[in-house]
Amino acid sequence: MTTHLDCIFCKIVASQIPSRKAYEDDELLVFHDINPTAPVHLLVVPKEHFENLISAKPDHAALLGRMQLLAPRLAAENGAANGFRTVINNGPDGRQEVYHLHMHIMGGAHPWKRMG
Ligand code: AMP
Ligand code: ZN
């Protein structure tokens, strides 16, 4: 598995930086966003380091599918009972800040009101 020494999400995956974990399996770690923009704001992070969908490979298809299919369960378990948004930011124009692919899950009452 590729780990980038300077990558904050690789450090969270390696438990070198703490996070509020919501779910973990062999391929994925899910934790609460440190700066939430919705009442429920989770980040679904592959343990493998790759930057974003621009650099994703066909081999990542199953992983990316699993991330989406996990979202309803994670949202419901964490209090977003009435729907949610999923967002993946890609590259500068996609306003990506952390260059380790991750999917936001945002739910709770009116999550869109605070989205930029
Ligand atoms: P983006 O790359 O634009 O999709 O955004 C990265 C997200 O990671 C932002 O919503 C940050 O609040 C979040 N974030 C950055 N550092 C941490 C951290 N140490 N723990 C949890 N969330 C983080
Ligand atoms: Zn990384």
Per residue in 52-110, pLDDT (tens digit) is: 999 999 999 999 999 999 999 999 999 998 999 999 999 999 999 999 999 999 999 87
Judge whether residue 29 has pLDDT over 50.
yes
Stated as kind and residue range, the H or E segment containing 105 is strand 103-107
Q: What is the pLDDT of residue 50?
A: 98
Residue 97 alpha carbon, nearest atom of ligand 1: 2
Q: Residue 86's closest CA among 59, 108, 107?
A: 107
Judge whether residue 41 has pLDDT over 60.
yes
Judge whether residue 5 has pLDDT over 50.
yes
Task: Compute the chain's Rg from CA coordinates.
Answer: 14
Judge whether residue 115 has pLDDT over 60.
no
| Three-state secondary structure call for residue 84 | strand
Hey, which of 98, 100, 115 would you mutate to test ligand 1's pocket, going by the most ligand atoms within 8 Å of its Cβ?
98
In the residue annotation, 102 being an active-site residue is answered as yes
Hey, which of 35, 93, 114 would you mutate to test ligand 1's pocket, going by the most ligand atoms within 8 Å of its Cβ?
35
